[in-house]
A and B are shown apart, each in its own frame.
Chain A
Amino acid sequence: DQQVKQNSPSLSVQEGRISILNCDYTNSMFDYFLWYKKYPAEGPTFLISISSIKDKNEDGRFTVFLNKSAKHLSLHIVPSQPGDSAVYFCAARIINAGGTSYGKLTFGQGTILTVHP
Chain B
Amino acid sequence: DAGVTQSPTHLIKTRGQQVTLRCSPKSGHDTVSWYQQALGQGPQFIFQYYEEEERQRGNFPDRFSGHQFPNYSSELNVNALLLGDSALYLCASSFITDEQFFGPGTRLTVL
Contact = CB atoms under 8 A, between A and B. Distances in A.
Interface of A: 4, 6, 34, 36, 41-46, 49, 89, 91, 93, 100-110
29 contacts: A6-B42, A36-B102, A41-B104, A43-B4, A43-B92, A43-B103, A43-B104, A43-B105, A44-B90, A44-B102, A45-B102, A46-B100, A46-B101, A91-B42, A102-B50, A102-B55, A103-B94, A103-B96, A103-B98, A104-B33, A104-B45, A104-B48, A104-B58, A105-B35, A105-B92, A107-B42, A107-B43, A109-B40, A110-B41
Contacts of A44: 43, 90, 102
B102 A43 contact: yes
B105 to A, nearest CB: 6
Contacts of B92: 43, 105
Contacts, number: 62
Interface string B14-58: 000000000000000001010100001111110010100001101
Interface of B: 4, 31, 33, 35, 40-45, 48, 50, 55-56, 58, 90, 92, 94, 96-105
Nearest to B96: A103
Contacts of B58: 104
Contacts of B101: 46
A89 to B, nearest CB: 5
Contacts of A108: 42
A105 B40 contact: no
B42 A102 contact: no
